[in-house]
Amino acid sequence: MPSTPRRSTKQRSIVLEIVARAKTHPTAEEVFTIARKKLPEISLATVYRNLHLLAEEGKIREVQFEGSTLRYDGMTMEHEHFCCRSCGVVEDLPVSLPAATVASIQSQLGAIIERYSLDYYGVCQRCKESAA
Amino acid sequence: MPSTPRRSTKQRSIVLEIVARAKTHPTAEEVFTIARKKLPEISLATVYRNLHLLAEEGKIREVQFEGSTLRYDGMTMEHEHFCCRSCGVVEDLPVSLPAATVASIQSQLGAIIERYSLDYYGVCQRCKESAA
DNA sequence: TTATTATTAGTAATTATTCCTATTAACTAA
DNA sequence: TTAGTTAATAGGAATAATTACTAATAATAA
Ligand SMILES: [Mn+2]
Ligand SMILES: [Mn+2]
Ligand SMILES: [Zn+2]
Ligand SMILES: [Zn+2]
């Protein structure tokens, strides 16, 4: 199957750059707002389209946390997240489940596990301390 | 803080019963369709309202898997999920992360971890075998 | 009973996302 | 270069999921 030729556009590279640089796991709307500063005529549909394309290509990742709309993550290596229910901050955790844990579940189920998503929820250090 | 008095209604108990019995992690719309069979005049807004209330009271749980709308889970004890990307089935996993793993991340972050969500994605046994 | 008001049905409104289409511009090959 | 091809875009309409609104209803308390 011949893959669709892909053209390189200002719009696409700006969207990628924004997500790659961001440390906040921005929503499509947030990416759009930032993108407008560099390219005032860019449209929201273009942002959505490119976010999907870039995710499909593995250049960014889609992440979904509870009670929030879909967000985008420029860190493409496997990692986990912590979300603060008080201030909403999302922190990256460079850990990952032991391969043995995943393998054990896989054989229990007789399934193929391709990936997983692990998100912790609670109160971050800052919020914990300011509440004390 | 005086908690709002809560009345017991047919609508609410039917919604609870449906989610508690279901093994499919149904969406609000699916709960609505089933509820109509028992109570044809029940409205969609009532289903949504009661799903939120019941989740708040801890009698059911909201679960969100990638690429899907919010779903509801009658299994209230802590557990994990496996989602098949081929047939869409969601299986319950009665396992949970070792307390030591959670405690370690908690102390690394200086945060309070209240709960976590762990979802595995891949191809279930049935789909794996039928593809062979 | 009767009064109070939480809850409901039905519908309008909102939010997030996707779809549509005429136009633009990235690439290709002369 | 230039001209042809068509992927990609801007802008707006359409859709899907959820929430908000409101007059009527019914669960509870007095
Ligand atoms: Mn991340
Ligand atoms: Mn479950
Ligand atoms: Zn916080
Ligand atoms: Zn399957």
Q: What is the pLDDT of residue A124?
A: 96
Mean local confidence (pLDDT), B90-111: 91
Q: How far is the CA of A5 from the C1' of C29 (A)?
A: 16
Indicate whether B48 pLDDT > 70. yes
Q: What is the pLDDT of residue B94?
A: 84
HSE-CB at B51 with a 13 A cutoff on CA atoms is 25
| Chain A residue with minimum CA distance to B104 | A95
Question: Which residues lie at CB < 5 A from ion ligand 3?
Answer: A 84, 86-87, 124, 127
Query: Who contacts B116 (Cβ-Cβ below 8 Å, separation ≥6)?
Result: A118, A119, A120, A121, B97, B102
What angle do the packed helices B10-21 and B44-56 form, to 10 degrees? 70
Where do the structural domains in chain A lie, given as residue ranges? 1-76, 78-132
Of A106, A111, A123, the CB nearest to B111: A123
With a pLDDT cut of 70, the percent of chain B lying above it is 98
User: How far apart are alpha carbons A108 and B46 in whole angstroms?
Assistant: 39
| pLDDT level of residue B81 (50, 70, 90 thresholds) | very high
- Best of A112, A127, A128 to substitute, by most chain B Cβ atoms within 10 angstroms, is A112
Q: Quick check: B53 and B14 in contact, CB under 8 A? A: no
Query: Which residues on A lie below 8 Å from B115 (Cβ)?
Result: 120-122
Domain A1-76 fold: Arc Repressor Mutant, subunit A (1.10.10)
The verdict on B124 touching A (C-beta cutoff 8 Å) is yes
Q: What is the pLDDT of residue B20?
A: 98
Q: What is the pLDDT of residue B1?
A: 53
Residue A114 to residue B125, Cβ atoms within 8 A: no
Question: Which residues lie at CB < 5 A from ion ligand 4?
Answer: B 84, 86-87, 124, 127
Superfamily of domain A78-132: Ferric-uptake regulator, C-terminal dimerisarion domain (3.30.1490.190)
Q: What is the pLDDT of residue B98?
A: 82
Of A93, A111, A125, the CB nearest to B124: A111
Q: Which residues of chain A have pLDDT under 70?
A: 1-3
- Best of A81, A120, A123 to substitute, by most chain B Cβ atoms within 10 angstroms, is A120
B29 touches strand D (CB under 7 A): yes
Q: Which residues of B18-30 are buried (b: 16+ CB within 10 A; e: fewer)?
A: bbeebeebbebeb
| Chain B residue with minimum CA distance to A103 | B120
Per DSSP, A27 falls in state: B
Instruction: From residues 79-108 of B, list those within 7 angstroms of strand D by Cβ.
Output: none
Q: Quick check: A82 and A93 in contact, CB under 8 A? A: yes
Query: Who contacts A28 (Cβ-Cβ below 8 Å, separation ≥6)?
Result: A44, A47, A48, A51, A69, A70, A72
Three-point CA angle B34, B65, A34, nearest 5°: 125
**How many angstroms away from the CA of B38 is the closest CA of chain A?**
30
Residue B117 to residue A117, Cβ atoms within 8 A: yes
Q: Which residues of A5-24 are buried (b: 16+ CB within 10 A; e: fewer)?
A: eeeeeebbebbbebbeebee
Indicate whether B2 pLDDT > 60. no
Per DSSP, A56 falls in state: H
Indicate whether B92 pLDDT > 90. yes
Consecutive H or E run containing A126: helix A125-131
A89 burial (CB, 10 Å; 0-12 / 13-18 / 19+) is: middle
Q: Is B70 strand, coil or helix? A: coil
